[in-house]
Structure 1
């Protein structure tokens, strides 16, 4: 893709983030009394940068639309979780349905069903992994984290099993680093102030951007 196309796709992400912010903040996705998710332009610029980075990394591939949607929805989910410590199911499910539709369309356009099969397998693999953590360590993970892991497993599985592993490790590593920083600043109570969702999103998107997809 040319620089103009990459910048243009970033602008698409910026505009989409504006729309999503309005939907989230004016809809019933946030607890009553919650203020705006983030200062003006933070979510929009973040989404625009991710759109441009994905366009540069993936090029004009059908999967670009799916990963761009993952980035747009992921930024919103991360902001909601950071602000409220909640990953709303009513946002995760539509995100997953649209994500599956876009990857399904990519499989049709590429005339290759194997990545889609691997995506489904990746979703179940992370569901089993996070499900075990959810039941073996009550309180360590929330139901939203479990559902988010399914989205990420599905998306990362499109590329490879290595990307699933890398995205998972990067998510937990970034969460551990953030927790250490918060504990240094706020003390032992910091673990209550560090939701996992934003870091799972960061790890997943970072793995896609670092992967060899071409």
Structure 2
């Protein structure tokens, strides 16, 4: 089977993995902010306390089969659960397509193949973390260290190993610079404007800079700018709708994450187009 024939199969499998990860992320989003273990006790209905059986825990399908209600007490189950599961499934599939387009998909050497797989795993980790952090920040205005800090280790190890296997030292240098630059920029903003930027944002900025820098300079610059662009649009919308005042705080983590993924997916093309307009590329 050729690499081109394998691509759709990998995308479908990654999408299915995303459905399963999405189911787990629903647990993470609820339990981590409350200081609870994500592995024990087993998931249960918040209404009657009945443990959720494996056949009632199939992503999306179980919610549809149960018509959005607990099997035991008929307590409504929020539509957010299947939406998160389906959304993560689609997100993972999109990441797989992006990875295929930007990686050396035709590589045949063992080291290149392993490197490509490591890059895919690294960005799937970021995708899962992005969904969890965005939802938690929207719910609680917090970005838990339990999720953010391990991402430095996971992302750093996977991307460093991929860069070494591909002999792409430039990518590792960019990743290091991106991590340090975005962390420092957000740290300075947090110090100068404590009410507008939290240290959770600072720590997340370093993780996003690591990934953006690994992709390229264009991705780093576009991803860093896009966070403020999207966040500004959202804040302006709230002001116009009179749902927030000039001093109202908004969770910035989701916009950092949306900006980062804009940079990852489109940053290189957008930056090259901008340079072309300037006549320097």
TM above 0.5, one fold? yes
Structure number with bigger Rg: 2
Counterpart mapping for 1:96-135 below 5 A? 96-135=152-191
1:21 is matched with which residue? 26
2:9 is matched with which residue? 4
Q: CA deviation at 1:46?
A: 2.2
Structure-2 change in CA distance of 1:111 and 1:144 (3 Å): same
Q: CA deviation at 1:187?
A: 3.8
2:99 counterpart of 1:58: yes
Report the Cα distance in structure 2 between the residues aligned to 1:125 and 1:95, rounded to whole angstroms.
17
Gaps of 5+ in 1: none
Gaps of 5+ in 2: 37-45, 47-76, 106-115, 270-281
Count how many residue pairs are aligned between Structure 1 and Structure 2: 210
Which one has the bigger helix percentage?
1
1:194 is matched with which residue? 250
Q: CA deviation at 1:22?
A: 1.9
1:49 is matched with which residue? 90
Q: 1:69 aligns with which of 121, 125, 130?
A: 125
Report the Cα distance in structure 2 between the residues aligned to 1:180 and 1:198, rounded to whole angstroms.
16
Q: 1:144-192 CA distances to partner (integer Å, 9 max, x unpaired)?
A: 0000100000010001122111001111111111111122223443763
Alpha carbons 2:218, 2:263 under 8 Å: kept: no
Q: Tell me the TM-score normalised to structure 2 length.
A: 0.68
Q: 1:54-100 CA distances to partner (integer Å, 9 max, x unpaired)?
A: 11112153422111111110110011001100011121111221111
Report the Cα distance in structure 2 between the residues aligned to 1:196 and 1:37, rounded to whole angstroms.
25
Q: CA deviation at 1:4?
A: 2.9
Instruction: State the secondary structure of the residue aligned to 2:202.
Output: helix
Structure-2 change in CA distance of 1:93 and 1:198 (3 Å): same
Structure-2 change in CA distance of 1:38 and 1:165 (3 Å): farther
Alpha carbons 1:63, 1:103 under 8 Å: kept: yes
